[in-house]
């Protein structure tokens, strides 16, 4: 199995693997016609690609007395939409309360090649403030209008998580062609729509 480099990612992106695509690491941007400011980076790196958090859908788990969260029979009422806030510099963010868990979505659409699997890893900037991104695989031939992303705030303080900025990195691994891809077996999260996709059995 081989980890793929920036040249390969650029080539695959030209064929629609990542949309929209930035062919370099973006560390400054202007939001809402404001002056350019420093951001949590996104775009191409040497052996990966940092994707951004969508501002359109972020949900926080909440406790409903007398209920248990069941991944096989999920109650959407266990999640509540988080409010999108704005800083004076034009950047936007959600708040993950202390010791809680949230679901977001990527801004980018992804279309995986048939012999490649990607792993989503958290960015160190968030890891250092207690936000953990669950390691999620994007299997061979998976595609969707966004990736549902999972975050845990392990700290005892509320934490901002910025929309339209880098939030996780994708690492791409190429292997020998598999017998059955995710698309072939009709994976339950195939053709995921934009926004958060809830647990499906």
With 0.95 as the threshold, say if the pTM is over it: no
Q: Is the pLDDT of residue 1 over 90?
A: no
Residue 136: predicted pLDDT: 87
Residue 201: predicted pLDDT: 79
Does residue 176 have an active-site annotation?
Answer: no
Q: Is the pLDDT of residue 33 over 90?
A: no
Q: Is the pLDDT of residue 133 over 90?
A: yes
Residue 27: predicted pLDDT: 96
Whether CATH 2.70.40.10 fits 2-174 = yes
Helix and strand numbers, DSSP H then E, in the chain: 2, 18
Mean pLDDT over 54-82 rounds to 91
Which of helix, strand or coil describes residue 3?
Answer: strand
Residue with more model confidence, 182 or 171:
171
Mean pLDDT over 58-82 rounds to 90
Residue 95: predicted pLDDT: 98
Residue 49: predicted pLDDT: 98
Residue 38: predicted pLDDT: 94
Name the β-bridge partners of 148. Answer: 105
- Count CA within 13 A, CB hemisphere, residue 124: 0
Q: Which residues contact 54 (CB under 8 A, 6 or more apart)?
A: 104, 105, 106, 107, 146, 163, 194, 195
Residue 135: predicted pLDDT: 84
pLDDT tens-digit readout, 79-107: 999 999 999 999 999 999 999 999 999 99
Kindly report the three-state secondary structure assignment for every residue of 124-145.
HHHHCCCEEECCEEECCCCEEC
- How high does pLDDT run on average in the chain? 94
Which of helix, strand or coil describes residue 111?
Answer: strand
Catalytic residue among 22, 36, 150, 176: 150
């Amino acid at each position: 199995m081989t980890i793929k480099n920036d040249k390969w990612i650029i080539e695959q992106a030209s064929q629609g693997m990542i949309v929209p695509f930035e062919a370099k690491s973006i560390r400054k941007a202007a939001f809402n016609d404001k002056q350019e400011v420093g951001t949590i980076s996104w775009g191409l790196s040497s052996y990966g690609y940092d994707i951004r958090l969508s501002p359109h859908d972020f949900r926080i788990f909440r406790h409903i007395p007398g209920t248990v969260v069941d991944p096989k029979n999920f109650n959407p009422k266990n999640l509540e939409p988080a409010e999108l806030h704005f800083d004076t510099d034009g950047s936007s963010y959600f708040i993950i309360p202390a010791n809680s868990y949230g679901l977001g979505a990527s801004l980018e659409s992804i279309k995986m090649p048939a012999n490649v699997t990607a792993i989503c890893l958290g960015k160190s900037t968030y890891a250092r403030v207690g936000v953990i991104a669950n390691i999620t695989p994007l299997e061979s031939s998976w595609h969707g209008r966004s990736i549902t992303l999972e975050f845990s705030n392990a700290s005892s303080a509320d934490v901002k998580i910025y929309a339209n900025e880098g939030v996780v990195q994708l690492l791409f691994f190429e292997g020998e062609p598999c017998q059955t891809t995710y698309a072939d077996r009709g994976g339950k999260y195939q053709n995921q729509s934009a926004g958060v996709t809830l647990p499906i059995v």
